[in-house]
Amino acid sequence: MENETFMLSELPWNERYGVRNLENVLTPALVAYPEFIASNIRSTLRLLDGKADRWRAHVKTAKLGYTMRMLVERGVSNFKCATTLELITACQNGAADVLLAYPVMGPNARRASEIADQFPRVQISALAENEEQLRQWRGSRVGVFLDINPGMNRTGIEQRDSARVIGMMRAMHDAAIPFRGLHYYDGQYGRVAEPEKTAATHAGYERLLGLVGEIQNSGFQVPEIVTAGTPSFPCSLTYKAFGSGDFIHRVSPGTLVYSDATSLAQLPEEYGYRPAVLVLSRVVSRPNERIITCDAGHKSVSADAGVPTCLVVGHPELTPLPPSEEHLPLENKSENGPKVGESLYILPRHICPTVNNFDSALLVKDGQVEALLEVSARGRETPLLPSSMRELQPSVYK
């Protein structure tokens, strides 16, 4: 990972971030620092020239209703999510407009329509890339963003296939399905270094605007374009043509609200992002002088970004090794190192699924635990539509 230490070993973490009175804190624990969440939100809005309406924040990272309300209080009311639980949590916490940025099918689509009916003041949209998906939204309050594949090859219509895109728009028009815009997630450039990253993303944006031109020549308008999760966020900021079109351009980074080790390596230091959520862990074993083990295995700190899964804040002498479910062994390159029972602060490489591992988070200000927050959008909803739940016999299983 490029620039992965981020000077963290030089920060006064024990003074400013260390949690006092740890005798009542079970580990591993998710720790949220509101002053740094607020600072990261301010940094993002500053980069967007103070225009909160340009940020469609991805709440797969935020997960906490507390954080969603912080965004809303600062003028961010457009969100993006990946699950129906995230959708309903955003609606409950002040969102005005939410894009369910996932190709939901069948009962999942019906659930999204139910949520849209439950929150009539919230504009709700979903993604579509084929007519089968479109048929789900006939007669629904849910509008549609066409999902454009920028080369990530995960979902979407290949961006050069303008005939298919325009055919989908005609089908939406005929079915009276509201067309909300184009969704373009170019997340494949996360590991591409500069200047190649900017050159590649800008070439994609040029093709995207060419597609917009073909849509307009066919008699349709594009209300909104959504680009850029965290990896390509800087590239969208420097693509000036997004500011001159007959559409609103929004970016959709989510990770930078909390900022993890990966995003801090990807984003320029002058942007001012700081880690705002950590995992508090304890040393539970020292099987030999070279290995220190703490209780931050992959059931707490996500391993999906690879090994090392994290950094140990303030301890450059400790290198995380492959984790097991509950254990995280650390290679100790010093003569001493932390003792058994000592607390460690872990900065994950990928914060989004790490937050999803916890039911609750400790809200910490000035070293004091001020509140216990529910991670309200973790996991998923009950896997039965509410209407079908009424048909079940009362369960005897606990």
Mean pLDDT of each 10-residue bin along the chain, 398 residues long:
44 66 95 96 98 98 98 98 98 98 96 98 98 96 98 95 97 97 94 94 97 97 96 96 95 97 92 95 96 98 96 92 98 93 96 98 94 97 84 57
If asked whether residues 213 and 276 sit together in one domain, one would say no
Q: Residue 258: its pLDDT value, please? A: 98
Is 89 within the bounds of a domain? Answer: yes
Same domain? For 120 and 168 the reply is yes
Residue 123 placed within a domain = yes
| CB-CB contact of 27 with 56 (8 Å) | no
Count, residues in the chain: 398
Question: What single-letter DSSP state applies at residue 193?
Answer: P
- At 1 the pLDDT is 39
Q: Is residue 2 situated within a structural domain?
A: no
If asked whether residues 180 and 215 sit together in one domain, one would say: yes
Q: Which of 110-140 are b and which e, b meaning 16 or more Cβ less than 10 Å from the residue's Cβ?
A: bbbbbbbeebeebbbbbbbbeeebbebbeeb
Contact 126, 99 (CB under 8 A): yes
Q: How far apart are CA 115 and CA 133, in angstroms?
A: 18
User: Would 136 be classed as within a structural domain?
Assistant: yes
136 and 164 inside one domain: yes
Measured CA to CA in angstroms, residue 200 lies from 45, 153, 178, 346, 370 at distances of 25, 16, 32, 33, 45
CATH number at residue 361: 2.40.37.20
* C-alpha to C-alpha distance for 114 and 23, rounded to whole angstroms: 45
Question: CA nearest 3: which of 311, 353, 345, 256?
Answer: 311
Query: Which H or E element spans position 87?
Result: helix 84-92
Fill in the amino acid letter for 122: V
CA distance 29 to 360: 8
Is residue 278 domain-shared with residue 248, that is, in the same domain? no
- Answer whether residue 103 is part of any domain: yes
d(CA 352, CA 359): 14
Does some domain include residue 259?
A: no
In this structure, are 124 and 63 located in the same domain? yes
Residues 144 and 200 occupy one common structural domain: yes
Other beta carbons less than 10 A from residue 224's beta carbon: 19
Residues 327 and 297 in one domain: yes
CA–CA distances in Å: residue 78 to residues 52, 75, 257: 9, 9, 15
Residue numbers of the domain that contains 244: 56-252
**Is residue 214 located within the same domain as residue 103?**
yes
237 and 88 part of one domain: yes
Based on the domain organization, do 227 and 183 belong to the same domain?
yes
In total, how many domains does the chain have?
2
Per-residue pLDDT at 362:
98
388 located within any domain: no
Q: Is residue 87 part of a domain?
A: yes
111 and 194 fall within a common domain: yes
